[in-house]
Amino acid sequence: MAIQSPDRATAAPVTNDLAARAPEALRPLYHVDDALQPLYETIADCPNCILARTRSRTVPGSGPVTADLMFVGEAPGQREDELGLPFVGRSGQFLDELLAGIGLTRRDVYVTNVVKCRPPSNRDPEPAEITACGDYLEQQIAMIQPKVIATLGRFSMARWFPNAKISRIHGQTKRLGDDRYVIPMYHPAAALRNGSLREVMHADFAKITPLLRGEPLTSPTASPAPSEGAPNLNAPSAGAPTPPAPPTGSQSGSLL
Ligand code: URA
């Protein structure tokens, strides 16, 4: 029998058995590309914060290492903790609907969270927990090299837009280097609580498609440029190289 020390619980591994018991629609999400496997194994043993004591399973992420689009949410909830997969509860169902609206499925995209273990009672993740997981997210971005990172909710937004308010900047793009964009979105759970955000989220998701095609400036649905005093989304931030100057005459409100 495996013995677990009280302050360093090893999460139950995601096994073929678990995948076999999961709802059929979720089974493909258990596939882990070889390139990601060592990182997932490291995360499964992670002792770096107190969430290691209470988790059932770590939830490193799902999706192909070749994905062009990466979503970064907040933290696993109860269902995610049971299944070892991100966004498989009610928020995940709405995420699936949003993806279907732009012609994508969960198998096309990479999905992860800023925190890889469930906070007890689904409380907000603590800064120390986000920091403890920070290097895992960096490694995921480095391996996947997504063209577009969509943040879901304020905790992942803060990674690229510190101090910004989601109600002011959702749906506006920020260019990271030459060929990557980050676009902040509301968390799907916010739209489950407040139905008026459903359409807002569908509209923000529609902006992803041109970004994936490398056409960020021409979308007629682009958000208006921020008014004076609004945060400058292109201000340099950690991990976000200063972008080149935008082409003059751009009609887009995306903040490139
Ligand atoms: N909410 C999140 O932020 N992440 C999940 O994986 C599930 C719900």
Of 26, 56, 91, 98, the residue with max ligand 1 atoms within 8 A of its CB, to mutate for a pocket test, comes to: 91
**Percent of the chain topping pLDDT 90:** 73
The one-letter amino acid at 221: T
Spatial distance between the Cα atoms of 141 and 176, rounded to a whole number of angstroms: 12
- Fold category of 18-212 in CATH: Uracil-DNA Glycosylase, subunit E (3.40.470)
Mean pLDDT of 95-121: 98
Split at pLDDT 50, 70, 90, the class of 243 is very low
Model confidence at 101: pLDDT above 80: yes
C-alpha distance across the termini of the chain, in Å: 55
Ligand 1 atom showing the smallest separation from residue 111 Cα: 6
Split at pLDDT 50, 70, 90, the class of 80 is very high
Ligand 1 atom showing the smallest separation from residue 155 Cα: 3
Q: For ligand 1, which residues put their CB under 6 angstroms from it?
A: 73-77, 80, 86-87, 89, 91, 113
In this structure, what token pair is assigned to residue 89? 């509860």
Quick one: residue 132, left, alpha or beta (phi over 0 = left, psi -120 to 50 = alpha)?
alpha
- Residues 208-236: pLDDT tens digits? 999 999 886 544 444 443 333 344 454 43
Domain ranges of the chain: 18-212
The pTM assigned to this predicted structure is: 0.83
Q: Does residue 72 contact residue 133 with C-beta atoms inside 8 Å?
A: no
- Ligand 1, atom 7: closest residue by C-alpha: 87
Split at pLDDT 50, 70, 90, the class of 115 is very high
Mean pLDDT of 139-144: 98
- Residues 13-48: pLDDT tens digits? 566 788 888 999 999 999 999 999 999 999 999 999
Question: To the nearest whole number, what is the mean pLDDT of the chain?
Answer: 84
The one-letter amino acid at 96: D
Split at pLDDT 50, 70, 90, the class of 66 is very high
Spatial distance between the Cα atoms of 167 and 231, rounded to a whole number of angstroms: 12
H-type helices in the chain, by residue range? 16-21, 37-44, 78-83, 90-101, 127-144, 154-160, 166-169, 188-193, 196-206, 208-212
